[in-house]
Amino acid sequence: MKKKQDILIITIIILIIAYILIYNQKITLIIKDSTILWFNKVFPSLFPMFILNDLLLSYHIDYYICKIFKKNGLKYYVFIMSLLSGSPSSAYIIKRLYDDKIIDKYNANKLLSFTYFSSPLFLITMLSFLFTNKTTIIKIILIHYLSNFIISFFYKIETNDKLSYKVTKDFGSNFANAINKAINTLLMILGILTFYIIISYIFIDIFNLNSITSSMIKGILEVTQGLTFLNELFINEKLKIILATLYINFGGLSIHSQIKSIISDTSINYKYFLKGRIFQTLISLILILKITGIIL
């Protein structure tokens, strides 16, 4: 079975390479566009937040939060910072807490389940192009956050009982380390983002898919391109609302790959993130269908 899977993967890779060689100019333009997308939308929102989160943890914000909120302190911290920063910052923060032995694998897995968010700025920007009704935009954003909040009720996070204040390195060292880690993570995100945009283009081009199917393929693979393409479709607004909610809350395979890559050198289990996104998508779809009156 494993051998057959390897042969299938090798075959697909060879076909992709052949396509890239034949349509080199098109792929070059796609890579340029995805790099511009990363530079304009992803880098500005994530780069400062990665650095600031790293510095906060370097100066032991976990210690102070746990002193104030006791055992729920880190749960609130990861939840709020992930909400403000946007994905994949949650995995970045969780990995740092795990590496510093502030949380164990069991609690890291639980945190990963309910701390996926698209940043408020990203959602407002993207949804404003899709919908003229501000109430609709607010509903979609609130449901995105509320669905995670609902999932969080099923998990109790416990921090290290022996959590103590540690001697802090000088600011220069902490700042340099934070920048280095942020740049490495963002370059990884650029690579994954570009890969999924190329794959979606090739798949849609080869199978000559219609516009709605193309939108779904793009949205399931990468959220930003899915929402961008959705804006170009002349379809019923209720269907647009459903598709936008689906793309945002599932996160796209690009985000899933980014999360998996960030936690790859730890024993934190990606399946908890996947399970959380499935539940989040189902909850958010039920809520949006009810609140917007699509179903009674």
Give the pLDDT confidence of 262-286 residue by residue, as tens digits: 999 999 999 999 999 999 999 999 9
State the pLDDT at residue 294: 63
Burial class (CB in 10 A: 0-12, 13-18, 19+), 284: buried
State the number of CA atoms in the 13 A half-sphere of 190 facing the CB.
19
Query: 3-class DSSP state for residue 213?
Result: helix
State the number of CA atoms in the 13 A half-sphere of 85 facing the CB.
24
State the number of CA atoms in the 13 A half-sphere of 64 facing the CB.
6
CA distances (Å), 224 to each of 2, 40, 125, 168, 197, in order?
Answer: 34, 12, 11, 39, 10
Contact assessment for residue 117 and residue 145, using Cβ atoms and an 8 Å cutoff: yes
Distance between CA atoms of residues 244 and 242, nearest Å: 6
Distance between CA atoms of residues 179 and 33, nearest Å: 25
CB contact set of 43 (below 8 Å; sequence gap of 6+): 186
Q: Is the peptide bond before 44 cis (omega within 30 degrees of 0)?
A: no
Determine what percent of the chain is predicted with pLDDT higher than 70: 92
**Identity of residue 189:** I
pTM, two decimals, is 0.85
Distance between CA atoms of residues 149 and 83, nearest Å: 11
**Can you give the pLDDT of all 296 residues of the chain as single tens digits?**
667 788 888 888 898 899 999 999 999 999 999 999 888 878 887 888 888 888 887 887 767 777 776 666 777 888 888 887 778 888 988 998 888 888 889 889 999 999 999 888 788 888 988 898 899 999 999 999 999 999 988 877 765 545 555 656 688 888 898 899 889 988 998 999 899 999 999 988 888 888 888 888 999 999 988 888 888 888 888 889 999 999 999 999 999 999 999 999 999 999 999 999 999 999 999 998 887 776 55
266-172-52 Cα angle (round to 5):
55
Domain assignments of the chain as residue spans, ordered by start: 23-291
